[in-house]
């Protein structure tokens, strides 16, 4: 079987689609709507577009306060994206490939922002009145989060059939339990 199987090609394609959609929506926020930092556009009673700049990683942690830290975050996230790519290209399970492709697509979108702008552009603001259960995020963040949930759910709750068969097969290979 070739290295680029159909599920892996699907994973790469999904990662590129997520990356492209993320960058397209960020262009709309930045250029087409010309939203300024902190500007808010109410779309629905529970969803606004609010432009914020995230200089950190997840939830603003590890904020890059200098050019060296910025480029360090670019390098670190690029390394992580490389590891995810290698993992995805070695993976055989479609659900894992799906989760990894979502992580990869989102990571690429945020890496390009940090490289090009020095920060990640966030805009999606879900709320119930004044209560905001999430920080303001973007499509890349959502894809990464969903991908991680898929990977964690599979790791915690799903046992692969091959593993089950390997643990129930007797050590002597005869197909019968060893009662010695």
Query: Which residues form the catalytic set?
Result: 122, 141
* Residues 28, 43 contacting (CB under 8 angstroms): no
Phi-psi sector, 124: left (phi>0), alpha (psi -120 to 50), beta: beta
Q: Which residues contact 73 (CB under 8 A, 6 or more apart)?
A: 57, 62, 64, 114
* Residues 110, 77 contacting (CB under 8 angstroms): yes
Positive or negative, the CA dihedral 139, 143, 149, 150 is: positive
Burial label for 122, CB within 10 Å (0-12, 13-18, 19+), is buried
Alpha-carbon span 13 to 78, nearest angstrom: 19
Q: CB-side exposure of 105: number of CA atoms within 13 Å?
A: 28
Alpha-carbon span 141 to 146, nearest angstrom: 9
């Amino acid at each position: 079987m070739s290295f680029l199987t159909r599920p892996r090609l699907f994973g790469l394609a999904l990662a590129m689609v997520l990356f492209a959609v993320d960058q397209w929506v960020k262009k709309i926020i930045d250029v087409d709507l010309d939203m300024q930092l902190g500007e808010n556009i109410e779309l629905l009673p529970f969803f606004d577009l609010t432009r914020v700049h995230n200089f950190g990683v997840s939830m603003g942690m590890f904020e890059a306060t200098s050019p060296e830290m910025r480029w360090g975050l670019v390098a670190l996230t690029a390394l992580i994206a490389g590891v995810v790519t290698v993992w995805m290209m070695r993976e055989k399970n479609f659900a894992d490939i799906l989760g990894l492709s979502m992580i990869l697509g989102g990571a690429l979108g945020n890496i390009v922002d940090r490289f090009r702008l020095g920060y990640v552009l966030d805009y999606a603001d879900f709320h119930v009145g004044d209560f905001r259960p999430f920080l303001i995020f973007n499509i890349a963040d959502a894809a990464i989060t969903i991908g991680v949930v898929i990977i964690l759910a599979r790791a915690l709750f799903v046992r692969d059939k091959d593993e089950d068969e390997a643990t129930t097969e007797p050590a002597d290979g005869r197909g019968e339990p060893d009662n010695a």
